[in-house]
Structure 1
Amino acid sequence: MTANWVEVTGRGVVSSAGLTVPDFTQTILSGQCLIHDISDVAADIRFTKGAAIRNFDPAAHFDERTLGSLDRFSQFAAVAARDALAEAGLLAGSLPAAGTDPERIAVIVGTANGGGDILMEGYRRLYKENRKPRPLTIPMSMASAPASRIAKELGARGPVFGVSSACASSNHAMITGMMLIRAGLIDVAVVGGTDSCFYESYLQVWDVLRAVSSETCRPFSTGRKGLIIGEGAGILVLERAGRAAARGANVIARLVGGGMSSDAGDLIAPDSSGMARAMRAAVVDAGLEPDAVGYINAHGTGTVANDRAESRAINEVFGGNRDRISVSSTKSIIGHAMGASGAIEAIATLAALETGMIPPTVNFISADPDCDVDATPNEARKRAVNVAMSNSFAFGGLNVSLAFARPDR
C-alpha cells in the first residue's frame, strides 16, 4: 500500500529572522524579536513598527538583466527555492538531478499580494514622474510569477501555478502539492509562499483597516493590540514517500496530513468552528488521534478576535489540557508575512520537530483568560514532539492546517 504521507527533503527561507534556514532557526529559538522601526518607509500612518527585511541584496543573487524582470516577491521566492532544492539535492547545474523527470515536478507558490512593488513603481512613474510604467509590469506583478521563475531555474515542466488565498496561500500551496503527489500525478513538489510588504501604498491600506498594532505583536497575551506586518518567502521540497531513500537523500520530516475549511461567513471576523474543522480534518487525514499532536505553530496574529477564536478551536479539537500540547506564534518574532507566513511558519514547525525545542511567543505580558492555551511565553522550551501542526487562517474565512511528523515517527 502506498504511504499516505509525503517527505520533506528541502527547505529555504528569506525572512527578517535570517536568509538561511540555520540562521532562521537560531533566531526564532533564541526569541530575538525582529520588529523594528519602519517610519522611513511610509509617513503619516498610525503604526511605525514592522518586520521588514533590510539585508536582502538582490544583486548578490541575480544579474542585472534578470533583475529587470523580477519583482521583489519573486526574488525572495527564487532565492528560498534555490536553498530548498540544494538541500534536497535536486539540482545538477541548472537542471533537475539525474533520475528526476522534469515533467513530474510541480511548482506551486502562494502569495497574498502579488507584485506590489512594481505596481507601486508604476503608479509613481505615472502620477509623480509623468513617465510610463515598465514594459514588463504585468508579468512581473502576476501572482504566478514566482512559480514561473522557480520552474525556469529548475527546468520543471509539470504543473506550475500560483495560489492566492490571503494569508492561507502558502498552506494551500503545500497541501495542493501533497495531494498531487498522493494522486500519483507528480513525484516532486516545490511549494511555499512569498510576499513583499514594505511599500507605501500597502502600509497605508493596512493603516485604514486598523488591525496593525501601534507597538508590537503579543499573540495570546493581555495587552495585545493587533498584528505586525512582516515579509519574506518560505519554500519546501516535497517528494513521494520512499523516493529520497532511493536516491540517497535525507528526509527532514513527513507531511502526514492536511485539512481545509471555509467559514462561509464574515470577510474579516474569525470563526472558531471553521478553524476547528481544518485542524480536525488534518488529524483525520494523517490517520492520527488528537493526542498525537504535541505542538501547534498557531496562526496567532496578535489580534484580540483571532487569538480568542484560535484558542477556542484548539481546545475544542485537542481538549483543555494545557500541559499536553504546546502552542506558540512565531509572528511575535517575525511579524505576519501574509501569503508567505504559512510556509515560513512550517519551517519553524520543522525546526521544533528537529531540535526538540518549542519556539517562544515573545512580547508576552500575561495570559489572557480568554486564550486558554500554553503559549510558550517569552522563552523557548525543551520538548521532544513527534507530530506538530501549523495553522493558517485567512481573511475571508479560509482555513488550512498541516500536520508534520518526525521522519522516524
Structure 2
Amino acid sequence: MMNRRVVVTGIGAITPVGNDAETAWSSILEGKSGIGPLTRQNADEYPAKVAAEVKDFDIEEYVNKKEARKMDRFTHYAIAASVMALKDSNLEITDENAGRIGVWIGSGIGGMETFEQQHETFLNRGYKRVSPFFVPMMIPDMASGQVSILLGAKGINSCTVTACASGTNSIGDSFKAIQRGDADAMITGGAEAPITKMAMAGFSANTALSTNPDPLTASRPFDMNRDGFVIGEGSGILILEELEHALARGAKIYAEIVGYGSTGDAYHITAPAPGGEGGARAMQMALDDAGLKPEEVQYINAHGTSTPYNDKYETMAIKEVFGEHAAKIGISSTKSMTGHLLGAAGGVEAVFTILSIRDAIMPPTINLADPDPECDLDYIPNKARKGEIQAAVSNSLGFGGHNATIVFTKYQ
C-alpha cells in the first residue's frame, strides 16, 4: 500500500507573543519577546525572575465558566488553539466523518497547577474537600479528551508525554496515523501551563532556568552568555489532513508534512547525549522518511533552549547530519522570544515553521550578541531573513533522552 500524503490545513496558537497564530507570527518576525517579569508566582521565592506568560487570555471565549472550572489551565490553552485551528481549516466535523477525525495533543507535565492546589486543599481540609474533578483535570491526556468532547472528534484520541518533545512527537504520530490510513484528519500539537510553584521549584533546583533578571536578554540561544531556559506556557495546534480529503473539500493548504524521526538517547535523565547523537539520528530518520537529501533543506527551527549543553550538542548534531550543507542552512530558535513551552514547544514551533514556508521568511534568533565559538552555524541573528523555503525541519528534544524531528515542505 502506498503511503498517503498528509498536509496542514489549519493552525491555532496561544503563546506568550500573541493569542492567535498570525499575531504570534507577526511578533516573531519583528523580533518581539514575550518574556517579562514572573507574575504567576512570587519571584522572591525563586532564583529565576522572568517567565514567558500568556497575557489577556479569556477561556470563556471558548467554553462557559462552569465547564472551564473543571479544567486545568493547560487544557484551556489546548481548547482555544484547537478551536482556532479547526475554524481556520474550515473542516466540519459531522456524524458521518467524526470517526475518521482524531485528536492527539501532547503535554509534558499536564495539570500540575491543579495538583498543587488540590494537594493544599487536602492537607488543610481533608479528602472530602478535594474536587471530584481533580483527577480528570490533572492527567496530561485531558487536553485531548476535552478537545475531542468539545469538537465531536471520535477518531484516534491520544496524548504523548515525552517531556519537551511531546508536541513534536504528537504531530509526528498523527502524521503516521493518517499516512497509514487510520484517520483522515487529526487535531494535533501540544499544550502546557507549567508556571507553577513546584515546577518553578523543580527546574530551579536542577539549575535549568536562567537566573538573568533582565527579560530582554534572559533567553539567548547559542550565545556565549546563555545560562538556562526561560519557562513559558501556551499551546500550538495543527489540523493535519490526508491530501485527497483536503482537496475534495477545497481546503487551503499551508504545507505538506513529509518526514518524522523519533529516537532515544539511552544516556541520562536530563542531559543530552554527547555530541547530540540521539538528536542527529532523529533528524536523519526524518530526512530518510521524507526522501530528502540534506542539501534540499533550507531552514531548521532548532530546539535551541538557551542552555549550555543543548545548544552546543544540537549544533554538533546538525553538523553530523547535514555535513558541509549545515553552514548554508538558516537556523533559528524562536524560544529566544517565546521562552520554552516544554510540551507545547513543538506545537508552537511547528506553526512557525509552516508559516516560514508560506511566507518565504526565516524568523530570527534574538539576543544573539556574543556567539559561542562552539555554536558556529547561521542562527539568523536578531533580524528575520527573507528566503525561499522548499523544505524545513523542526527539532524537539526532551528530558529522558527523547528526540523528535518533523519535516515540512512547500506543497506542490
SS in 1 for 2:396: strand
Q: Which moved more, 1:334-343 or 1:56-65?
A: 56-65
1:79 aligns with 2:104: no
Contact 1:121-1:133 at 8 Å conserved across structures? no
SS in 1 for 2:119: helix
Residue number in structure 2 paired with 1:395: 399
Residue number in structure 2 paired with 1:375: 379
Contact 1:5-1:257 at 8 Å conserved across structures? no
Residues 10-409 of structure 1: matches in 2 within 5 Å?
10-38=10-38, 41-42=41-42, 43-91=44-92, 96-97=93-94, 101-128=97-124, 132-215=129-212, 216-271=218-273, 272-321=276-325, 323-408=327-412
Report the Cα distance in structure 2 between the residues aligned to 1:380 and 1:326, rounded to whole angstroms.
10
Q: RMSD value over aligned CA atoms?
A: 1.5
Percent of residue pairs bearing the same amino acid type: 34
Report the Cα distance in structure 2 between the residues aligned to 1:40 and 1:152, rounded to whole angstroms.
29
1:94-124 per-residue CA deviation (whole Å, 9 max, x = no partner) reads xx158x6111111111000111121121123
Query: Aligned AA for 2:227?
Result: K
Per-residue deviation at 1:79? Answer: 0.7
SS in 2 for 1:213: coil
SS in 2 for 1:167: helix
Contact 1:166-1:339 at 8 Å conserved across structures? yes
Report the Cα distance in structure 1 between the residues aligned to 2:124 and 2:67, rounded to whole angstroms.
26
Residue number in structure 1 paired with 2:215: none
Contact 1:74-1:194 at 8 Å conserved across structures? yes
Per-residue deviation at 1:60? Answer: 2.9
Query: Aligned AA for 1:270?
Result: P
Per-residue deviation at 1:323? Answer: 4.9
Contact 1:4-1:256 at 8 Å conserved across structures? no
SS in 1 for 2:144: helix
Runs of 4+ in 1 over 3 A off after TM superposition: 1-5, 127-131, 320-323
TM-score (norm 2): 0.95
SS in 1 for 2:163: coil
When the two structures are aligned, how many residues end up with a matched partner?
403
Contact 2:178-2:184 at 8 Å conserved across structures? yes
Q: Which moved more, 1:239-248 or 1:54-63?
A: 54-63
SS in 2 for 1:163: coil
Contact 1:109-1:161 at 8 Å conserved across structures? yes
Report the Cα distance in structure 2 between the residues aligned to 1:325 and 1:162, rounded to whole angstroms.
32
Query: Aligned AA for 1:46?
Result: P
TM-score (norm 1): 0.95
Query: Aligned AA for 1:103?
Result: G
Contact 1:89-1:97 at 8 Å conserved across structures? no
Per-residue deviation at 1:54? Answer: 2.4
Per-residue deviation at 1:368? Answer: 1.0
Report the Cα distance in structure 2 between the residues aligned to 1:34 and 1:342, rounded to whole angstroms.
17
Structure 1, unmatched stretches of 5+, are none
Report the Cα distance in structure 1 between the residues aligned to 2:40 and 2:175, rounded to whole angstroms.
41
